[in-house]
Chains A and B, each alone.
Chain A
Amino acid sequence: KAGVTQTPRYLIKTRGQQVTLSCSPISGHRSVSWYQQTPGQGLQFLFEYFSETQRNKGNFPGRFSGRQFSNSRSEMNVSTLELGDSALYLCASSLVPQTEAFFGQGTRLTVV
């Protein structure tokens, strides 16, 4: 079966712009989580959605937001981009109540 799909794979944006990243979970998975990975901070949790509701949020500024649609697809948005937002953004889905997370390949965002 198809895995977690993230689009686009690579993105270059300018400081001050906004960006939207997309994640299509594995079919039947209703839980979607987002993570940011940077060389300095490692893998950090952004937020998690289940049945269109945000259930957990990490310690990130309000410029980072997300949503989940009725088909479980999820998007995350970063507004007013800063150089420090350059990172690999990873999406993971899971089949509740089983809880192992399946990660996508990520979107590599570069802010210039």
Chain B
Amino acid sequence: DAKTTQPPSMDCAEGRAANLPCNHSTISGNEYVYWYRQIHSQGPQYIIHGLKNNETNEMASLIITEDRKSSTLILPHATLRDTAVYYCIVRVHSNFGNEKLTFGTGTRLTIIP
């Protein structure tokens, strides 16, 4: 799986959009970009994933650059509950299981009241 690079920490004011960048310059054509977050002492939570088109769900939006070498996770209206470590992961899909997820160090996002 390709490696990802994320800033170690970010702050965002409550109510504003939080934009979390991820660099995956060595991503291959069949690798998807996944985002998970982990709130303190809980298991990671799936947020969103995409291949090359921008994606949106009830939690967030994922913007992937045209060359697919980087992406941005957007939390449109950050709340205090969004304070967590956010992980960007790239991986292929499999029909036979989830296979291993390679977590980096992630970005520690702090929402400031």
Contacts and interface: CB of A to CB of B under 8 A. Distances in A.
Interface of A: 4, 30-31, 33, 35, 42-45, 48-50, 55-56, 58, 88, 90, 92-94, 96-97, 99-106
B69 interface: no
6 contacts: A35-B101, A48-B97, A48-B100, A55-B99, A99-B94, A100-B34
A42 B105 contact: yes
Given A42-B103, A45-B102, A96 B43 contact: no
Interface of B: 34, 36, 41-46, 49, 87, 93-105
Given A42-B103, A42-B105, A43-B103, A96 B45 contact: no
A97 B93 contact: yes
A94 B96 CA distance: 10
Binding site secondary structure of chain B: loop
Nearest to A92: B98
A103 B44 contact: yes
Nearest to A55: B97
Given A56-B100, A96-B98, A99-B98, 16 more contacts: A30-B97, A33-B97, A35-B101, A42-B105, A48-B98, A50-B96, A55-B96, A55-B97, A90-B43, A90-B44, A92-B44, A93-B98, A97-B94, A100-B34, A101-B36, A101-B98
